[in-house]
Copies of this chain bind each other. A is one copy, B any other.
């Protein structure tokens, strides 16, 4: 078998995986793409569109090396970018029989926590899949895939320990409509990305409950303070939490009409049951899983996070959003 025919491959055929393929095929002659079903591969090859996500966008399929065989894609690539929902990452790797990713450079594009382990992705891949610490990176930023597909100017951050590798990989993402900066706060950016999905759920619940813009701004400000506290607890390095990768991502997710986490919260706030909300939505709201893991993690850390706790109590504790937000309101300022 020929080794490393692709410099980079994307694992995951969802909305964000598709957006990443758009960016990478701008720069690279051939990019590998693992998607789950053969039907999707066939559709991509015949229609040059992803049938399920961003399907209004024509894709340069001639630059893609498509496969449903994850092991093959892994073997044939130097760099892997994981873009599957955090809750299904372990299952996807298990189903494909992947036991190790040793020797690969792995970029996570997943803003979530692996539920069974309460670990962010880089932590999980390092401890369970033999990826060395310097071979890990995280791509994030205020970047809805829909706008990447529309070629609206967007900004990403690539966080990793190996500055030279990160610098080099930035080149593969950059284009006239995508700017990307290196960053060395791998753990901090990952946790920020986990929290922003829960913050968006909180903003959605407030909106569903008919709180106004004034309240939502106070809610998000307080949640950003919680984020600073948690990041300090998990990784006490200096960082400017008003950088785009932290604050920008919170704002775009909490305020944007594209945010599925905000929509999830809005439905809950309007009084839909959890079951009805899940049924109403086609995509996974990462924040739903994230808040549970954050609360588990926080049993040890004991960071003061009333907004996170409020969302948890509503989504997992069955407490009425109305009551829980009335209590939360007294803690905000």
Protomer copies: 2
Within A292-333, the residues touching B (CB, 8 Å) are 329, 332-333
Complex CA distance for A257 and B255, rounded to whole angstroms = 12
Known: A242-B221, A333-B179. A215 touches B247 (CB 8 A): no
Cβ-defined contact, A212 with B251, below 8 A: no
Partner among B143, B222, B240, B257 whose Cβ is within 8 Å of the Cβ of A244? B222
Cβ-defined contact, B215 with A243, below 8 A: no
A273 within 8 A of B: no
Partner among B153, B154, B212 whose Cβ is within 8 Å of the Cβ of A147? B212
Partner among B153, B211, B333 whose Cβ is within 8 Å of the Cβ of A212? B153
Complex CA distance for A147 and B221, rounded to whole angstroms = 18
Cβ-defined contact, B333 with A244, below 8 A: yes
Q: Distance in Å from the Cβ of A280 to the closest Cβ of chain B? A: 22
Would you give the 0/1 interface string for A212-253, flagging 1 where the beta carbon is closer than 8 Å to chain B? 111111101110110010000000000011111011110110
Partner among B148, B213, B216, B241 whose Cβ is within 8 Å of the Cβ of A242? B241
Cβ-defined contact, A212 with B242, below 8 A: no
Q: Distance in Å from the Cβ of A120 to the closest Cβ of chain B? A: 22
Instruction: Give the size of the chain A interface in residues (CB under 8 angstroms).
Output: 45
Find chain B residues with CB under 8 A from A143 CB. Answer: 214
Find chain B residues with CB under 8 A from A211 CB. Answer: 152-153
Cβ-defined contact, B214 with A251, below 8 A: no
A117 within 8 A of B: no
Known: A147-B212, A222-B244, A242-B225. A251 touches B153 (CB 8 A): no
